[in-house]
Amino acid sequence: MKMTIGEIAKAINANTDNFNQDLLTTTVTGVCFDSRKMVAGQLFIPLVAEHDGHDYIDSAIANGAAATLWSKDHADRLPLKIPALVVDDTLKAFQNLSKYYLDKINPRVIAITGSNGKTTTKDMVAAILSSSFHVTKTHDNFNNEIGVPYTILQMESNTEFLVAEMGMDRPGQLDFLSNLVQPDVAVITMIGEAHIEFFGTRDKIADAKMEITHGLKSDGYFVFDGDEPLLQQRAKSVDVRQSTFGRNSDNDVFATDSKDSQYSTEFHVNLWPDVDFTIPMIGDYNVNNALAAISVGRIFQIHPKIMAKQLAKFDPTKNRTQWLVGSKGERILSDVYNSNPTAAKEVLIAFKNTDTQGRRIAVLGDMLELGTQSKEMHASLAEEIDPASIAVVYLIGTDMAALYDKLKPIYAPENLHYYQAGQIDQLTADLEAELASNDEVMLKASHGLHLENVVAKLTK
């Protein structure tokens, strides 16, 4: 992003009567809402949440902020050292600025949501499209009302495609994000139990996910999991072109087979049986993510052999079914960004089918936001865990106690370990002492358990 202060002010309807002409023609080279990460020349966005961003203006100025947005209800603290664009609401102004910039650059937009797989699918779509176009994609999981505008404002002026991941934890959130970006293609990867605490049922989760189509252009495409009855039913009310993916042969794009190797998965697609597809991830569920991405590539006429080449080398976002090597030489399957029962079971299935000369060790942490069904859902993971395939199990978190109770009858005490949420350091120390060079260890939990700290210690 490169815009003058005058252009920014006009885009967000901020008054500049007291600004001199030199200030208005000053170029801003980006936006930042964390003063610690401010790069000289950027616009500071002081958001008000748990902390008030206005309190950090001195830090932003010290780190080179060229200008700042400023809430009019903080007018008594108006900074004098840099231009301050006074607005009613800094978040709303930030969002309006992103909308202005999106319209100015005018890329085609791919919006992606789903209970599982949206980040991986985003990475796959971006890899496929980048073979022929200049692509900007969501960084990490910047997928909410702050993250999506931030992603938009990171676009270079030559961006032809924006691949925007969109998350949600309440009704109306995807409606806002979809209307903000007005996608050319809207993708729903699947419907699971994520955030069921807030929605109550999968039906209501499906209703909320369908909001991603609310801003869809009239000549756009809706791409969705055609094996999901909840989406099949709701798609009938969306009057745009549609493309389905999945495993059933009545989908537009479906896998005719799939085979896991040690650290990758191979499959074929009905439309091009002679093309060999490989993704650098294990797990049959990741094939579905690839089918969603292939569906998008097909819409924009990317050759199937080019799609196969791009998928074979795409770079997944960190901690999503990511293979690492530990300090002892052990193999680590890190999938610790988030978790829910469907995702955890799929990773367990993939993990217990790997080839290993040593033991398979599973580390599972609480799956959050499951509501009144949480303990039952945690206990249900036992369906995919047994001593013959997973030799040792480490569990951490309040509701993982339900899975611990379920596994106690089938595991020897020395092979089944349970820790309270605050005992992550003890878990890490015990796991480090147990691991041998030929073992494989899988880690899966919601982000609130911070198993990424365990991964960091094991790979140090």
Residue labelled with tokens 């549609």 = 242
Ligand-binding annotation for 365, yes or no, is no
Element housing 324 (H / E): strand 322-325
Q: Please check if 130 is assigned to a binding site.
A: no
DSSP 249: T
326 annotated to bind ligand: no
- What gap in Å lies between CA 137 and CA 204, rounded to an integer? 28
Is the torsion defined by CA of 422, 426, 430, 431 positive or negative?
Answer: positive
Nearest to 208 by CA among 182, 251, 177: 177
Contact of 69 with 90, CB cutoff 8 Å: yes
Q: Is 119 annotated as a binding residue?
A: yes
The residue count of the chain comes to 460
Residue 244 annotated in ligand binding: no
Q: Is 321 annotated as a binding residue?
A: no
Helix 173-181 × helix 202-209 angle, to 10°:
20
Q: What is the rounded CA–CA span in Å between residue 118 and residue 231?
A: 16
DSSP-based three-state secondary structure for 377: helix
Distance (Å, whole) CA 385 – CA 102: 47
The residues pairing with 417 across neighbouring beta strands, listed in sequence order, are 394
DSSP 6-29: HHHHHHHT---TT--HHHHTPEE-
Contact 417, 400 (CB under 8 A): no
Tell me if 120 is assigned to a ligand binding site.
yes
144: which DSSP letter? S
Binding residues: 114-120
Binding residues for ATP: 114-120
